[in-house]
Structure 1
Amino acid sequence: MESGKIIQVEEKVPFRLLVPLSIQHMFAMFGASVLVPFMFGISPAVVLFMNGVGTLLFIAITKGKAPAYLGSSFAFLAPAGLVIDKMGYEYALGGFVAVGFCGCVLALIIYKFGCDWIDVVLPPAAMGPVVALIGLELSGSAASNAGLLDEKISTSNIIVFGVTLGVAVFGSILFRKFLSVIPILIAVIAGYIAAILCGIVDFTAVSEASLFALPNFMLPKFSAEAIITILPVILVITSEHIGHQVVTSKIVGRDLLRDPGLHRSLLGDNLSTMLSGLIGAVPTTTYGENIGVMAVTKVYSVRVIAGAAVLSIICSFVGKLSMLIQTIPGPVIGGISFLLYGMIGASGIRILVDSRVDYGRSRNLTLTSIVFVTGLSGIAVNIGNIQLTGMVLACIVGMILSLIFHLLDKLNLTNDRE
C-alpha cells in the first residue's frame, strides 16, 4: 500500500490488512462505548454484541455505501438515568424501543418527502460550525479521560497521554506504506505499553474472568411515563445523526444524504436502537471516533467497519478478551481522542472552505457566529427531563434562524438575497 492512498467505500481489503484495520476501528470506539453501560450499571458484553450487530445491520440497510460504526449513545444518559432510578433498567429499555421505533417512522417520512429541506434549514454557513462543534464540544471529554482535568495531575497519566498522542500525530505524517494507515492502532499499542511500564494497568479482572461467557440479555418493560421521559431524545439523536452523515460525506467525498439516502442511514441507526432495547443493551449511534479514524487514515472501506463489528461480537462472548480490552487506561483513550475529535472539528471548517461561504453576506456571518457561540457558551435549554445544549442546541438554533431567513427571502424583505 502506498502512503496516502485512499481506500474507497466499496473497495476490498486483503485479509492480512483487514484484521489490523478492523482492530484499529474497534479500539477507537471501545473506551467511550463501554463507558455508557458502566454508567447504567449493566455488563458491557451485551453492549459490545449489539454494537457489532447494529453496525452490520446499518451497513446492510445502507447497501454498503455509508461507512459508519454504531457505538453506545450518550444522549440517553440523563432521561434514562431518571427512569432507572425510579422504575428500573427494564423500563428504560422500553423507552429505548419507543425512541427507536419513532426514529424508524421519521426515516419513512423522510423517504416520502426527501431531504432537500436540509439545504434550506442547514445551509453551509450553519452546517459547518454545527459539524465543527461535534468535535469541539467533545474536547473536554478527551482531556478528562486523559486525567488532565484532575485537581492533581498524575505524572504517569501525562507520560501515557504524551506517548499515545505523539505516536498518533507523528505517525500519521511519518509512517509509510501499510503503517501509514494504522497510526491509531500503533498509538494505542504504544500507549498501552507505556501504561504497563508506568504501573497503571491492573490485570486482576482479566485473570478472574471466565474464558467464555454469554452476554447478559434482558427483556424490556413498557410504561407510558418512562416512554414520555425518554422520547424527546429523538430530537437530539436525529440532529447528531445528520451532522455525522454530513461530516462523513465530506471525508469520503460523496453525498451520503442522497446516496444511500438519509432515510436509509436514519432507519439503520434507529432500528439498531430499537433492537438494543429489546435485548437489554443501550441505544446506539454513529460514532465520531470512527469518523476521525477515517479522516486520519483515508481508509473508508465498509468491509473494514464490518470487520470491526464482527470483532466486537466475538469480544462479547470471550470474557478474558473483553476484560483485557477494558484494561486500556483513560490516558490512552484520551490521547487518541485528542486527535480524532480535532479532526471532526477541522472537517466542519472544511465544509465552510469547500462551500466557499461568502462572509460578505450578513446572513452567513450571522449564522456562523450564532451557531458557534450557542454551542460553546454552555447555554442549556430544558424540555421536561431533556437538556438541549452544545451542538444539538446550536443545530436547532441554526435551523430556526435559517428557516426564518428563507421565509424573509420569500417575502422579499432581506437586503442580501441572491
Structure 2
Amino acid sequence: MAADEIRRGSDYQLRLREFPVGAQMLFVAFGALVLVPLLTGLNPNVALFCAGLGTLLYQVLTKGRIPIFLGSSFAFIAPIMFCVKTYGVPATMGALAVVGAVYALAALVIRLRGVEILLRLLPTIVTGPVIMVIGLILAPVGVAMAMGRTGDGAAVLYPEKTAMLVSFFSLAVTVTVAIYGRGMLRLLPILSGIGAGYLLSLILGIVDFSAVAAAPWFAVPSFVGPAFSLDAMIVIVPVAIAPIIEHFGGILAIGQVTGRNYLENPGVDRSLLGDGVATALAGCLGGPPLTTYAEVTGAVALTKIYNPALMTWAALTAVCLAFVGKLGALLQSIPTPVMGGIMLLLFGAIMVVGLNSLVREGADLMEPRNMVIVALIIVLGMGRMTFSLGGVHLEGIGLAGVAGVVLNLVLPLPRRKTDTD
C-alpha cells in the first residue's frame, strides 16, 4: 500500500514495513503508560503487557476500524494508591476488574437506549467536579515526593535541597517541551521530563543501579491475580463515571482527526466494550485500568497515517518489552523526586481538565442547583468524608461521585428550563 493510500484510508492492513511507525506510537505513549504503575506501586512490565494485549482485544471488538492505543488511566491513580495501601494489591485488582464490567454494562445500556441516557445520568456538572477532585486529592502526594519524601510524607528518602533541585528541573523540562516543543517532541513532555530528571539524578549520584544489575534480561512479568473485596470496589468503582464520559471525547477526537464517525461505525458501544474488556483483563493480571490515549491521537494527527494496524505494531512492541526484566528494574530505579516534579504538573492538569469541561459547558455555577452539586462533590471528596450503611462503605472520591449522581437525579431543574421542556 502506498503512503498516500494509507493516509487516506483507515482500513486495517498489517504490513511489516509499517512496524517502525507503529512502534513509534508506543514511544509516544510510553511515558504516561509507565508513570501510572510507578506512582501506584504496580509493576510497569505488567502495565506494558496489559496495554499491549488490551489494545489487541480492543481492535478485535471494534473490528479493527479505530486507530487507538489503550494505555494506563490517570483517573484511578488516587483510589488505586489508597486501596493498595488499605486493602492490598489483589483486592485493588479485583475492584479494577469490576470497573471493566461496569464499562461493559454501560456499553450495553448505550446499545439498547442510546448515548443520551448516559449523558442524562452523568452530565458535565457531575463529571467535571469529580475529575477536579481526582487531581486535587493527589496534590499532597506530588508535593511530598517532589520534596524527597514518600507519597504520604512519613519518611525522608532524599535530602530536601537535592530533591527540590531534581524535581523542579524535571518539571521545568516538562513544561518547556509542552509549550515550546515542535513536531513529535511536543507529544513527549512527560518522557522528556523524566529523562532529564533521571540524567540530573545520575550526575548527582542518587540513582541506585543494584536492582537493574541483578535483574535478568528475560523475565515473565510479575502478574497478580484479583481478590474481590466489597470495600475496595466501593472506593474504586464510582470513579468509573469520569472515564466513561472521557471515552466519548476520545472517540470524537480520533474521529475528527481521521474524518470518520466512529460513534456510528463500529459504534461507541463496541468501543466502550473494548475498553471494558481490556480494563477487566488488566485487573485480572495486576495492571492499571486502561483508557484511550490522547497522546497517540495527537501522533496520528501529526503523521496523518490512519491505518489502525499501526496500533497492532505498537501493541505487539509493548507485549515484547514487557518480558525485558531489566527494563522494569530500570524504570523502578527512577528517583522519587523525578516523579514528584512530573506529578506537580500532572495532578494540576487533571484538575484543570475537570474545570475546563465546566467552562466549555457554560455551566452557571452561581445557579443554586449547580452550586449545590459542585460544592458537595468537591467538599466531600477533598474532605475525605466517609459514609457507612450496613455493609456499604463510601469515602473520598467514591462518595463524591455517588453523591453527584444522586443529587443530579433528585434536585429539580431550574424553573426556566422546566418551562421549556
* TM-score normalised per structure 1: 0.74
Among 186, 202, 221, which residue is 1:215 paired with? 221
1:160 counterpart = 2:166: yes
Q: Secondary structure at the match of 1:268?
A: helix
Tell me the distance in 1 between the aligned counterparts of 2:362 and 2:94. Answer: 45
Among 182, 197, 218, which residue is 1:191 paired with? 197
Among 28, 31, 34, which residue is 1:27 paired with? 31
Tell me the distance in 2 between the aligned counterparts of 1:336 and 1:234. Answer: 24
**Offset from partner CA, 1:12-60 (integer Å, 9 cap, x none):** 9x8666655532422223143145565xxxx664453223212332354
Tell me the distance in 2 between the aligned counterparts of 1:346 and 1:83. Answer: 30
Tell me the distance in 1 between the aligned counterparts of 2:224 and 2:369. Answer: 50
1:271 counterpart = 2:246: no
Structure 2 vs 1, CA of residues 184 and 385 (structure 1 numbering), >3 Å: closer, same or farther? same
**Offset from partner CA, 1:73-109 (integer Å, 9 cap, x none):** 6646777888769xxx5x9877776665565355334
Structure 2 vs 1, CA of residues 332 and 295 (structure 1 numbering), >3 Å: closer, same or farther? farther
Q: 2:243 aligns to what?
A: 241
Among all aligned residue pairs of Structure 1 and Structure 2, give the percentage whose two residues are the same amino acid: 28
Greater alpha carbon shift after TM alignment, 317-326 vs 335-344: 335-344
Aligned length: 391
1:344 counterpart = 2:346: no
| 1:403 to partner: Cα distance | 0.7
| 1:158 to partner: Cα distance | 1.1
Tell me the distance in 1 between the aligned counterparts of 2:138 and 2:244. Answer: 17
Tell me the distance in 2 between the aligned counterparts of 1:358 and 1:287. Answer: 30
| 1:252 to partner: Cα distance | 6.2
Which residue identity does 2:281 align to in structure 1?
L
On the 8 A contact 1:71/1:285 being kept in 2, the answer is yes
1:282 counterpart = 2:286: yes
On the 8 A contact 1:83/1:92 being kept in 2, the answer is yes
Structure 2 vs 1, CA of residues 142 and 93 (structure 1 numbering), >3 Å: closer, same or farther? closer
CA RMSD of aligned residues (A): 4.4
Tell me the distance in 2 between the aligned counterparts of 1:293 and 1:380. Answer: 38
Among 330, 338, 345, which residue is 1:332 paired with? 338
**Offset from partner CA, 1:252-293 (integer Å, 9 cap, x none):** 686988776553344234323443465xx22541369x5589
Greater alpha carbon shift after TM alignment, 49-58 vs 14-23: 14-23
Q: 2:3 aligns to what?
A: none
Tell me the distance in 1 between the aligned counterparts of 2:378 and 2:60. Answer: 35
Which residue identity does 1:30 align to in structure 2?
V
Structure 2 vs 1, CA of residues 229 and 397 (structure 1 numbering), >3 Å: closer, same or farther? closer
Tell me the distance in 2 between the aligned counterparts of 1:93 and 1:360. Answer: 40
On the 8 A contact 2:100/2:279 being kept in 1, the answer is yes
On the 8 A contact 1:95/1:231 being kept in 2, the answer is yes
Q: 1:4 aligns to what?
A: none
Tell me the distance in 2 between the aligned counterparts of 1:309 and 1:16. Answer: 12
Tell me the distance in 1 between the aligned counterparts of 2:92 and 2:138. Answer: 25
Structure 2 vs 1, CA of residues 375 and 171 (structure 1 numbering), >3 Å: closer, same or farther? same
1:313 counterpart = 2:319: yes
Structure 2 vs 1, CA of residues 306 and 185 (structure 1 numbering), >3 Å: closer, same or farther? farther
Tell me the distance in 2 between the aligned counterparts of 1:164 and 1:339. Answer: 10
Tell me the distance in 2 between the aligned counterparts of 1:209 and 1:326. Answer: 11
Tell me the distance in 2 between the aligned counterparts of 1:400 and 1:376. Answer: 18
Q: Secondary structure at the match of 1:317?
A: coil
Tell me the distance in 2 between the aligned counterparts of 1:388 and 1:245. Answer: 25
Matches within 5 A, 1:105-254: 105=105, 107-147=107-147, 150=153, 154-216=160-222, 226=228, 232=234, 235-245=237-247, 248=250
Greater alpha carbon shift after TM alignment, 107-116 vs 343-352: 107-116
Among 366, 369, 387, which residue is 2:375 paired with? 369
Tell me the distance in 1 between the aligned counterparts of 2:184 and 2:83. Answer: 44
* TM-score normalised per structure 2: 0.73
On the 8 A contact 1:65/1:260 being kept in 2, the answer is no
Tell me the distance in 2 between the aligned counterparts of 1:135 and 1:298. Answer: 27
Matches within 5 A, 1:355-366: 355-359=361-365, 361-366=367-372
Structure 2 vs 1, CA of residues 382 and 80 (structure 1 numbering), >3 Å: closer, same or farther? farther
Structure 2 vs 1, CA of residues 298 and 376 (structure 1 numbering), >3 Å: closer, same or farther? farther
Gaps of 5+ in 2: 1-6, 13-17
| 1:249 to partner: Cα distance | 6.4
Tell me the distance in 1 between the aligned counterparts of 2:179 and 2:102. Answer: 44
Q: Secondary structure at the match of 2:363?
A: coil
On the 8 A contact 2:216/2:326 being kept in 1, the answer is yes
Which residue identity does 1:210 align to in structure 2?
P
Which residue identity does 2:396 align to in structure 1?
T
Q: 1:403 aligns to what?
A: 409
| 1:400 to partner: Cα distance | 0.9
